[in-house]
């Protein structure tokens, strides 16, 4: 083989290696974006579930007009504790639904962390609406 053939073969394999590296990095970047998007969708699902349960709780306390105010507050406190436990369960179940490689991109592990992120997300959305 002469020098041109050797040089061409080396450049060919270098091109193949470079192409594989570029595709690998692109795939990893897209995978990371997907899992971040999935995390945001999970936050939206949790927010929706929390709003649904909270509104049902408020509706049920409105129907309990026969109870005194202190009993209503006690009932509301007990039900909010149950709701918090239920939301913790939802968080754990939804995080477990994410494939193991993607769990490192989920930025919350508990309901309180998810609530904080939901409040931040609401703040960003309100800022965008006010800027328009």
Q: What's the confidence (pLDDT) of residue 2?
A: 86
The answer to whether position 95 is within a domain reads: yes
Q: Which of 100, 105, 118, 110 is nearest to 44 (CA)?
A: 118
The answer to whether position 79 is within a domain reads: yes
The answer to whether position 39 is within a domain reads: yes
The answer to whether position 5 is within a domain reads: no
Q: What's the confidence (pLDDT) of residue 13?
A: 94
Q: What's the confidence (pLDDT) of residue 14?
A: 94
pLDDT along the chain (132 residues), means of 10: 88 94 94 91 91 85 76 84 91 91 89 90 75 64
Q: Are 95 and 117 in contact (CB under 8 A)?
A: no
The answer to whether position 1 is within a domain reads: no
Q: What is the distance between the alpha carbons of residues 104 and 95, in angstroms, rounded to a whole number?
A: 10
Domain that holds residue 110: 30-131
The answer to whether position 23 is within a domain reads: no
Domain tally for the chain?
Answer: 1
The answer to whether position 61 is within a domain reads: yes
Q: What's the confidence (pLDDT) of residue 113?
A: 92
The answer to whether position 8 is within a domain reads: no
Q: What's the confidence (pLDDT) of residue 74?
A: 85
């Amino acid at each position: 083989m002469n020098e041109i053939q050797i040089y061409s073969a080396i450049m060919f394999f270098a091109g193949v290696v470079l192409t594989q590296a570029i595709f690998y990095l692109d795939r990893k970047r897209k995978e990371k974006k997907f899992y971040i998007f999935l995390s945001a969708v999970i936050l939206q699902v949790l927010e929706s579930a929390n709003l649904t349960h909270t509104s049902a709780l408020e509706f049920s306390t409105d129907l309990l007009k026969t109870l005194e105010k202190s009993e209503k507050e006690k009932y509301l406190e007990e039900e909010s504790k149950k709701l918090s436990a239920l939301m913790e369960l939802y968080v754990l179940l939804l995080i477990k639904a994410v494939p193991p490689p993607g769990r490192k991109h989920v930025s919350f592990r508990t309901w309180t962390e998810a609530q904080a992120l939901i409040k931040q997300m609401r703040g960003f959305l309100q800022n965008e609406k006010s800027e328009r």
